[in-house]
Amino acid sequence: MNDERGVLVAGNWKMNENHFEALHLVTELAALFRQHGLPPGREVSLHPPFTSLRTVQTAVETDHVPVALGAQNCHYEDRGAYTGEVSAEMLAKLGVTYVIAGHSERRQLFGESDEVVRNKLDAILRNGMRPILCVGETLEERREGDAAAKVTGQLVAALERRRPEEVATVTIAYEPIWAIGTGETASAEDAEEMCATIRGELVRLAGPRGELVRIQYGGSVTPDNAGELLGCPNVDGLLVGGASLDASKFFAVAAAAPSRAGAAGASW
């Protein structure tokens, strides 16, 4: 992490929590946030399923919980004959700030191509929200030595020919696919190495503004590894799946202090 960029911890609830359960979870979280607060420069977003967005938004506003509302996905058109889809425009009207685009589950299970992900970024930005763009390699790609090429290819596809000011508003989530939901986390060294590669590519694409982009790590983040990951110079946040469904675990991740272990070259 770096003081200028700040830290964003995002809770991706995936297809969990109906709206009753969502209300319960957000009420528990609200109590923890009120009681303990968060470190300075720390931002938190909650990404419930579409059906719980309104519930979470109301709870967060009523209780003045210092978290931003997030979504997990959107369609790239603002309206039209797209049965079953939800547009970025609709999310913006609900007070959503952050929208995840190109999560590996969307890419792998729902066939989202780089082109679709790019169009989704367009829609999110056009509607005044901030994308969290997910990138990451499979285990096979890592073993073959193709991880960096895969990740930079995904970045280029989504970000090239964009204005640097626009790129600066995007958050990148580096999520090695083999670490998602598996209990296997990238080591802090591996996470830092890839996030530094991502940083280099962002600077190539957007010039000095690339230094302002926040890069999250995601993949089996827990209260036990959050501090070490946040201690890496190019890790500016975490995208949390499983652990975001448990209020005390998610709060512990959100409030984790960066630790030095594994953060070779950290500047503080």
Binders of ligand PGA among residues 69 to 98 (CB under 6 A) are none
Q: Measuring CA to CA, which residue among 27, 68, 65 is closest to residue 44? A: 68
Distances in Å between the Cα of 129 and the Cα atoms of 13, 69, 155, 218, 250 are 19, 11, 19, 21, 24
- Catalytic residue IDs: 103, 175
Residue owning tokens 């830290």? 7
Q: Which one of 180, 202, 215, 247 is in contact with ligand PGA (CB under 6 A)?
A: 180
Residue 128 vs 181, nearer CB to ligand PGA = 181
Give the torsion sign (CA, 64, 57, 73, 13): positive
175 binds ligand PGA (CB under 6 A): yes
49 binds ligand PGA (CB under 6 A): no
To ligand PGA, the closest distance from the beta carbon of 82 in angstroms equals 25
Q: Which helix (H) or strand (E) holds 142?
A: helix 139-143
Give rounded-to-5 percent helix, strand, coil for the chain. Answer: 45, 15, 40
Give the torsion sign (CA, 107, 214, 27, 52): negative
Q: Choose one: 122-130, 145-153, 239-247, 249-257; the region binding ligand PGA (CB under 6 A).
A: 239-247
Long-range CB contact pairs, 199-204, < 8 A, 24+:
199/234, 201/152, 201/155, 201/156, 202/155, 202/159, 202/167, 202/172
* Token couple for 65: 């919980």
236 binds ligand PGA (CB under 6 A): no
CB distance 254 to 9 below 8 Å: yes
Residue 186 vs 213, nearer CB to ligand PGA = 186
Residue 242 vs 262, nearer CB to ligand PGA = 242
137 binds ligand PGA (CB under 6 A): no
Q: Choose one: 73-81, 89-97, 233-241, 254-262; the region binding ligand PGA (CB under 6 A).
A: 233-241
Q: Which one of 48, 176, 219, 258 is in contact with ligand PGA (CB under 6 A)?
A: 219
To ligand PGA, the closest distance from the beta carbon of 165 in angstroms equals 27
CB distance 210 to 166 below 8 Å: no
Q: Choose one: 64-72, 148-156, 175-183, 253-261; the region binding ligand PGA (CB under 6 A).
A: 175-183
Amino acid at 186: A
136 binds ligand PGA (CB under 6 A): no
240 binds ligand PGA (CB under 6 A): yes
Q: How many other CB atoms are there within 10 angstroms of residue 207's CB atom?
A: 12
- With H, G, I as helix, E, B as strand and everything else as coil, classify residue 15: coil
Q: Which one of 241, 247, 258, 263 is in contact with ligand PGA (CB under 6 A)?
A: 241
To ligand PGA, the closest distance from the beta carbon of 155 in angstroms equals 17
Residue 218 vs 231, nearer CB to ligand PGA = 218
Binders of ligand PGA among residues 1 to 40 (CB under 6 A) are 12
The binding site for ligand PGA (CB under 6 A) comprises 12, 175, 180-181, 218-221, 239-243
